[in-house]
């Protein structure tokens, strides 16, 4: 099941984000050739938020690869300052060379997902702007094909 939160966009320049709750797997290739698997927790056409057991150093350049909707993204990104979470950490990243065609495809796929999720309003039952809404998985997002984190304990281990 995919979970999404759509909060009012205070800064018009900020790209809308989809909260994927770790349902999309990503492969990160570091400059030294090492590969690390991760889960995408948030995504926009400017970058996203990855889940790791241990954070990567801020400023590290890497190639990020994942598939969401009808779009397969494979481009360079820079890792930003990590945030500790309950299990491991969440590390934001910013795309550095996403070409216009790929960006348009990604933006269209994310917009399809955002349009399937009702926006969270300040007058919701709990009154929390951080409340999440459940939505059926849009075609092509494939939440059912992603294993649970508990069933795949080597998810974040380096691949030889």
pTM metric for this prediction = 0.67
Structural domain of 38: 16-106
The DSSP 8-state label assigned to residue 21 in this structure reads E
Residue 24 belongs to some domain of the structure: yes
Beta-bridged to residue 36, according to DSSP, are: 28
Q: How confident is the prediction along the chain (160 residues), in pLDDT tens digits per residue? A: 455 444 445 556 778 889 988 889 999 999 999 999 999 999 999 999 999 999 999 999 999 999 998 889 999 999 999 999 888 999 999 999 999 999 999 999 998 888 876 665 555 444 333 333 333 343 444 443 343 444 334 444 444 3
- 102's enclosing H/E stretch is helix 100-115
- What is the length of the chain? 160
Residue closest to 30 by CA, chosen among 69, 78, 62, 76: 62
Assigned domain for 101 exists: yes
36 inside domain:
yes
Q: Using alpha carbons only, give the angle 110, 131, 27 rounded to the nearest 5 degrees.
A: 40
DSSP 152: -
Q: Is residue 47 part of a domain?
A: yes
Structural domain count of the chain: 1
Q: Output the domain CATH number for residue 47.
A: 2.40.10.220
């Amino acid at each position: 099941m995919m979970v999404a939160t759509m909060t009012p966009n205070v800064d018009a320049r900020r790209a809308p984000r989809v909260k994927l709750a770790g349902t999309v797997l990503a492969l990160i290739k570091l400059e030294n050739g090492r590969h690390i698997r991760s889960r995408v927790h948030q995504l926009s056409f400017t970058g996203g938020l990855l889940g790791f057991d241990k954070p990567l150093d801020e400023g590290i350049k890497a190639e990020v690869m994942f598939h969401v909707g009808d779009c397969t993204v494979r481009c360079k990104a820079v890792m930003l300052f990590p945030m500790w979470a309950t299990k491991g950490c969440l590390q934001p990243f910013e795309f550095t060379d996403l070409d216009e065609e790929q960006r348009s495809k990604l933006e269209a796929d994310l917009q399809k997902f955002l349009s399937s999720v009702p926006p969270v309003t300040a007058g919701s039952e709990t009154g929390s702007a951080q409340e999440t809404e459940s939505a059926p998985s849009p075609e092509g997002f494939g939440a059912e094909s992603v294993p649970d984190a508990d069933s795949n304990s080597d998810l974040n281990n380096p691949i030889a």
